[in-house]
């Protein structure tokens, strides 16, 4: 996640003369199996079936690239989400709604999938895809580095 976020930020920063570019990337870790965005409806169903009744970790990598000097800061935030058991009908409704597409793990906690969550340990905004506490920390570190107060 961290490397992907950094690659995204560098790609955009190459086209920017001045400013700070922020990029993020989120993946789901289900017992070591990384779940990205579903390829199709069958893949979305498979992911939701696997997540049903289980805990998984959500990792979001965040990267900053400052221009024009090219300084970089990056980090990863992790939250744990536990889904309650899902019925086949709930999974099908989710897939038919289109919500799983473009979302790591085939769900959006800020959308209909909020009803799937039995417990959340960590930051909700991390699961949504932009962990603000980490972003603030990285921005503060970057500002200190740019001003010569740190690295």
Edge-to-edge strands of the sheet including 117-121?
Answer: 33-35, 19-30, 55-67, 72-83, 117-121
Known catalytic residue at 74: no
Residue 123 Cα distances to 58, 108, 148, angstroms: 10, 14, 31
In 3D space, the residue among 115, 6, 116, 117 whose CA is nearest the CA of residue 60 turns out to be 6
Backbone phi, psi, residue 105, to 5°: 75, 5
Residue from 25, 31, 121, 125 carrying the catalytic annotation: 25
DSSP single-letter state for residue 4: H
Count of beta carbons in the 10 Å neighbourhood of residue 124: 15
Tokens 């932009």, residue? 130
Catalytic positions = 25
């Amino acid at each position: 996640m961290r490397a992907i976020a950094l690659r995204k930020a560098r790609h955009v920063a190459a086209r920017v003369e001045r400013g700070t570019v922020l990029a993020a990337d989120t993946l789901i870790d289900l017992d070591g199996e990384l779940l990205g965005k579903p390829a199709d409806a069958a893949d979305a169903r498979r992911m939701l079936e696997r997540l049903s009744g289980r805990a998984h970790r959500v990792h979001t990598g965040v990267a900053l690239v400052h221009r024009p000097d090219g300084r970089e800061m990056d980090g990863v935030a992790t939250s744990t989400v536990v889904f309650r058991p899902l019925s086949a009908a709930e999974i099908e409704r989710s897939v038919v709604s289109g919500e799983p597409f473009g979302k790591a793990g085939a769900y959006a906690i800020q959308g209909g999938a909020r009803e799937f969550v039995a417990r959340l340990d960590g930051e909700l905004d991390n699961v949504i895809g932009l962990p603000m506490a980490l972003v603030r920390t990285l921005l503060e570190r970057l500002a200190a580095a740019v001003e010569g107060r740190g690295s």
